[in-house]
Structure 1
Amino acid sequence: MTVFSHAAAKVVHHAARITVASALPALAMLFTLSVSHPAAAMNIQQITSPGGIKAWLVEEHSVPLISLRYAFDGGNSQDPPGKEGLANFITAMMDEGAGDIKSEDYQERMEDIAMRMSYDDSKDSLYGSFETLSKNRDKAVELLKLSVQKPRFDQDAVDRIRQQLLANLAYADKDPDKVAMREWFAQAFPDHPYGRSANGTQQTIAKITRDDLADYHKRTFARDNLKVVAVGDITAAELGKMLDDVFGALPEHADLIPVSKTEPVKGGSQKIIEMGVPQSVAVFGLGAMPRKDPDFMAGFVVNHILGGGGFSAKLMEEVREKRGLAYSVYTYLQPYQLTSILVGSVATKNASMAQSLAIIKDEMKKMAENGPTPQDLQAAKDYLTGSYALRFDTNSKIASQLLGLMQEGFGPDYVENRNAMINAVTLDDAKRVAARLFKPENLVVTIVGKPVGMNSAATPPLLQPAAAVPGRG
């Protein structure tokens, strides 16, 4: 679920609760412990519960806190046609009562023991997050178990959350960044679940019923598509018992709708959605190599040099630093289970969008033709290897990072080997992969605003040579 919609749902629902005040000290303690006491050097254990559920565990007993991250394959690509937004809807419903406990009582019990639980959806997975103080583990695990196995989906809660989601959609429709990203996926992946709106539309959310939510839960919450990571004050034996308690009663097999592999459309396209805003927002992107492709790590490095490295990136230097056209411009490499993309964004004055996109295209072309310099490559490798440890500086970050690796099919040894893989990227590798990755003629571009001198076209103006734009030699 989106950050805004989840937060809005909970703020609206709990604004009048006096019980929140009594829980604040414990909640503050939970937050402090999770952010200020990182796990020590990791020993990643691969465990199997007595019931056969596999998980990764990092024990850290110096802090009385347990963090659990889990995912069920499926995500919003499992939304049936005409019911887009269903996975997002269910993420808002999973703490709205479970078992014999109705919504208000359930959430008051969570607050009383400083338990944190939330759900989120992506194109490929539905994620769960759980944190508890060790002393409250038994009570917290019981509430988690009920949520996972027996969410209530009471009609009054469904109706209330639906209204909040509809309000969020109305808000998002006025946000050029959200509209640009949503419409980029629709343009890049027509006739594929990846191209559908993850949050749904006013029409689809209005049609989702309690039975739809229960059916999604039944189809996707299963043991064979479950991945789990635990970090904190718990032993392997204790975790095994906990896994069976929380997940053991789920169906053995998920019943997922088959979804085919896909790629963004090729050949270049451009779409403009008019919105009366003072500056336009553009999202641009194209296909990239899969996560397990031997060239992925080199692609990750060269993308960092082009647009992923903040103020050190070439796009930031050319678009912002030299010309002052935009506050921010960036790109990132995003692998999914069924495709992989390189996507970026820039926001600038309506009168400057055409020039900004032409510079972006020109920088891509230069990187494809020449590759990075030895100095740029070394600086990128130094940063990427040096900053990697920051992904593991709290228990919750460790759990999230390891869950991602598990989902991508890597083993625990990836953490030890990752920096060596970065350092193994040679200049020849970087040049070869840059030529493979950066193909500006395939850019899919979505612009929201009123850009001057631009029109939607299958062969957009930005794909023409940008020789007239001053740039590096």
Structure 2
Amino acid sequence: MKKIYTGLAVFSLIAMLSFDKTAAEPVKSIESAFISSLPEVKKHKMKNDINLLYLEDDLPVTVIYASISFGKMYETAVNAGIADVLSRTISIAGTVSYPGNSMYQKLESIGGEINISAGWETIGIEIKVLSKYSDLAFNILGDILKNPVFDEAGAASAKKLVLEKMKRDKDKPDETGVLKLREIIFGGSGYGAVPTENSIGAIDPLSLKTVWNRYASGGNITVAVSSSESENEVRTLADKEFSAVAKGGREFYTIDRDKIISNLKSVSGNIYLIPAELEQATIYTGTLAPEIKYNGNYALYMMNYILGGGSFSSRLMNEIRVKRGLAYSVYSLVRNRRNTGVFISFVQTRNESAAEVLSLIHDNIKLISEEPVAEEELQWAKESVKNSYVFRFSTINDLLGNFLEVEYNDLDAGYFKNYLDNINRVTADDIVNEGAKMFSQGLVTVVVGNRKLEKDLSRFGKVIICE
């Protein structure tokens, strides 16, 4: 790994010095050398179907990241919030061998750390220790996988924390707005599942245990390890601690894409206004995006980079902030996941300029999905993406996260090494075609702002007040 990070430092320096388009060729050769030098992960499938990934590291540190295929995308309106409650319950109640906070105390006593959290598609368990304590780290992870404690006290404490966070988020217009946007686009399930007091209240230890027993098994678990310990030593520890985990196949969330598109078309153009006595209006627009394996995603990535993902040089930033000074924060993103995806744009502006800003957002989305971008603009975006790509691999956590993403989504083994080549193949026609295809599904707007905005916003579509 020393060679990797030395290469990273050299690449970063030269990339910064070579930002001028005239230096494109030197940057290209260096970036190619760096990408080709990325370490190869060693894979091993255990007898119970757990996927074990190994990455050798020169540092005397062991980092273990376990990924269980269950997260917020698996939720419905009925059990929304269960992934968060589940991860917090394990953090609070611990395991049979390490009850309560004893696993935290044990790890802290040796300078280690652990984090358990719920993501959109997975429950993640990360443990870091000095390599000489690898056996303890594997033992703790094994007990979490096999013997988590789901008791009344732990579940009650976890639910209380989740409810408290929900209450805090209600006072945050950015959180309120994006929750409502996803709920509308995805119909209240998966990406659109919004936790409520009722859905959290209905979660009990039995429901948590049922979910864990169903998803925390064999093929639904991937364990990625970076360590100075040898591959054989890591496999021996894994066999010792994980072999008793129940065997099981892979199970993923499902979505009804046709139903989502049908619903999206029926509400397209609507503006959902959430009244809030604030000086600023928070504006979200969004639509459905493709799943991660969709071939047109490289064009959509470049479309979004030019539209609002490319910081100060993006169109939305230039039109809304730089030229007119109407907002401080403005951006857009496309997030592709295993079975679905989402496009979102975001801006915060004064209430009195909300209508003007919304008009600029709509105009720029329309423009990029109807007219090919200029060749100079496309080349700028490609160079920016290439020059920043290396930073996706700057830490061990980044590397492990990338490998886990490949595994979870069944991506080609060369996904990251071929990424820049695929970006470089994107044409202006690809961008306009894929943009038009995505935005033709419909576009929804959510505004968190003064109720008096209703009249001005009605110029752009039907305004629906969300109390």
1:229, distance to aligned residue in structure 2 (A): 2.5
Query: Is this contact kept in 1: 2:55–2:227, CA < 8 A?
Result: yes
Name the CA distance, whole Å, in 1 between partners of 2:114 and 2:174.
28
Q: Is residue 2:43 matched to residue 1:42?
A: no
Name the CA distance, whole Å, in 2 between partners of 1:397 and 1:426.
29
Q: Is residue 2:227 matched to residue 1:232?
A: yes
Partner SS state of residue 370, structure 1: coil
Instruction: Report the TM-score, using the length of structure 1 for normalisation.
Output: 0.83
Name the CA distance, whole Å, in 2 between partners of 1:64 and 1:376.
45
Aligned to 1:19: none
Alignment of structure 1 residues 355-374 onto 2, 5 Å: 355-374=356-375
- Identity of aligned pairs, percent? 24
Query: Is this contact kept in 2: 1:149–1:246, CA < 8 A?
Result: no
Q: Is residue 2:153 matched to residue 1:152?
A: no
Partner SS state of residue 418, structure 2: helix
Instruction: Report the TM-score, using the length of structure 2 for normalisation.
Output: 0.84
Aligned to 2:436: 435
Q: Is residue 2:216 matched to residue 1:221?
A: yes
Name the CA distance, whole Å, in 2 between partners of 1:36 and 1:213.
45
Name the CA distance, whole Å, in 2 between partners of 1:293 and 1:37.
32
Name the CA distance, whole Å, in 1 between partners of 2:100 and 2:300.
46
Aligned to 1:275: 276
Aligned to 2:444: 444
Change (3 A) 1:167 1:366: same
Letter aligned with residue 259 of structure 1? T
Query: Is this contact kept in 2: 1:261–1:338, CA < 8 A?
Result: no
Name the CA distance, whole Å, in 1 between partners of 2:99 and 2:54.
32
Query: Is this contact kept in 1: 2:76–2:189, CA < 8 A?
Result: no
Aligned to 2:109: 112
Name the CA distance, whole Å, in 1 between partners of 2:6 and 2:203.
41
Aligned to 1:317: 318
Letter aligned with residue 207 of structure 2? D
Aligned to 1:7: none
Change (3 A) 1:101 1:123: closer
Partner SS state of residue 128, structure 1: strand
Name the CA distance, whole Å, in 2 between partners of 1:193 and 1:352.
33
Name the CA distance, whole Å, in 2 between partners of 1:292 and 1:119.
28
Change (3 A) 1:36 1:345: farther
Query: Is this contact kept in 1: 2:146–2:244, CA < 8 A?
Result: yes
Q: Is residue 2:80 matched to residue 1:88?
A: no
Name the CA distance, whole Å, in 2 between partners of 1:254 and 1:54.
11
1:57-92 Cα offsets, whole Å, 9 max, x none, are 2212x2111223332223124346533211111111
Q: Is residue 2:70 matched to residue 1:68?
A: no
Change (3 A) 1:310 1:218: same
Q: Which moved more, 1:372-381 or 1:249-258?
A: 249-258
Change (3 A) 1:292 1:283: same
1:387-415 Cα offsets, whole Å, 9 max, x none, are 11101111111111221122222233222
RMSD, aligned CA: 2.7
How many residues are paired up?
Answer: 424
Q: Is residue 2:199 matched to residue 1:204?
A: yes
Aligned to 1:122: 119
Change (3 A) 1:74 1:461: farther
Partner SS state of residue 442, structure 1: coil
1:253-301 Cα offsets, whole Å, 9 max, x none, are 2696863332451233221111222211122111223322221101101
Name the CA distance, whole Å, in 2 between partners of 1:230 and 1:173.
38
1:106-158 Cα offsets, whole Å, 9 max, x none, are 32112112222222223332222222221211112211211222111233332
Alignment of structure 1 residues 396-415 onto 2, 5 Å: 396-415=397-416
Name the CA distance, whole Å, in 1 between partners of 2:124 and 2:96.
20
Letter aligned with residue 382 of structure 1? E
Gaps of 5+ in 2: 10-33, 463-467
Name the CA distance, whole Å, in 1 between partners of 2:119 and 2:456.
29
Change (3 A) 1:251 1:308: same
Q: Is residue 2:309 matched to residue 1:308?
A: yes
Runs of 4+ in 1 over 6 A off after TM superposition: 35-40
Name the CA distance, whole Å, in 2 between partners of 1:87 and 1:234.
33
Gaps of 5+ in 1: 1-34, 465-473
Change (3 A) 1:37 1:422: closer
Q: Which moved more, 1:326-335 or 1:164-173?
A: 164-173
